[in-house]
Chains A and B, each alone.
Chain A
Amino acid sequence: MVKRIVTGAHYGLRDWLAQRVTAVVMVGFVLCLAIALLISPPHDYATWKSLLSGRWMRIAAFLFLASLFWHAWIGMRNILMDYVHATGLRLTLQILIILSLLFYTIWSVEILWALELAWR
């Protein structure tokens, strides 16, 4: 029996798992949306808007987008760690990616919850 001394930051397994869980969440949403679009394809602004305006649809859409942004962060960080070896440049790019994803998150809330105001 070898006694292993585990070192490191320990975020590897958590991120690996998060990458997969967010992927499954997104596949679930995309399949449901695709089925909904196939059953009753929205042909104009009103039907398209009413499809996305329901409370559960807004929550599901936001869960999808949040999963997408988290998934994108882990993927982009892995790619930067593999290909960008200059620490300063890598850090700059990572910060830009985090800031853009936070920006996208706020933007998504604005888009989806503007629908709620219109829905009432």
Chain B
Amino acid sequence: MVARHLGSKKLQRTRPKFLNLMEIRQPLPAVISFLHRVSGVLLFFPGIPLLLCGLEMTLSSPQDYAQFQSLVASPLSKTALTLLLWFFLHHLCAGIRFLALDLHYGGALAQARLTSRVVLAAGIILTLLVSLLIW
């Protein structure tokens, strides 16, 4: 079917050239993949330096530990940390999905769509669960 349509000259002439990425509605697996990249960059910066700063502060002395606790307690830093936590958990869940795809699990269209929904939901639900546990 597709090949015949592509072969037809009339269709080829009128085929739309529309490559504005902002206007095309991306399928969910594409959104998951894009979020994987964006979250990866944000985990590199500011994620890694913040992680090391936090590790150093909480481990160096009881005074620094207490200072870290008061820094983290403000609503602004709580919001920022929850966002970073979501980036991490989304990156983790989407990464597990990509590993499964590498092993040829879930490559069919219906499965790929279903697992991208699961990944998006799992990232958000885990973020809410962990932030409820911590705070």
Q: Of the candidates A23, A27, A30, A111, which one forms a contact with B59 in the assembled complex, judged by CB atoms under 8 Å apart?
A: A111
Contact indicator B60/A114 (Cβ below 8 Å): yes
Flag if B96 contacts A48 (CB, 8 Å): no
Residues of B54-100 contacting chain A, CB below 8 A: 55-56, 58-62, 65-66, 92, 95-96, 99
Inter-chain contacts of A27 with B (CB < 8 A): 92, 95-96
A72-B44 in contact given A20-B99, A27-B96, A49-B59 (Cβ < 8 Å): yes
Q: Is the CB of B95 within 8 A of A23?
A: yes
Asked whether A20 lies within 8 Å of B102 as measured between CB atoms, the reply is yes
Chain B: interface size category: 20 to 34
Known: A52-B59, A79-B37. A108 touches B92 (CB 8 A): no
| Closest chain B residue to A101, Cβ basis | B48
Given the contacts A27-B92, A111-B55, A68 and B99 also touching, CB distance less than 8 Å: no
Instruction: Kindly list chain A residues whose C-beta atoms are within 8 Å of the C-beta of B61.
Output: 45
Residues of A within 8 A of B125 (CB): none
* A54 interface residue (CB < 8 Å to B): no
Q: A27-B95, A104-B49, A107-B56 are in contact. List 12 more A-B contacts (CB 8 A).
A: A20-B102, A27-B96, A44-B65, A45-B58, A45-B62, A45-B65, A48-B65, A69-B48, A75-B44, A97-B44, A107-B52, A111-B56
Hey, which bits of chain B sit against chain A, CB under 8 A? 37, 40-41, 43-44, 48-49, 52, 55-56, 58-62, 65-66, 92, 95-96, 99, 102
Query: Could you list 8 A-B pairs, sorted by A, with CB under 8 Å?
Result: A27-B95, A68-B48, A72-B40, A107-B56, A108-B52, A111-B56, A114-B60, A115-B59
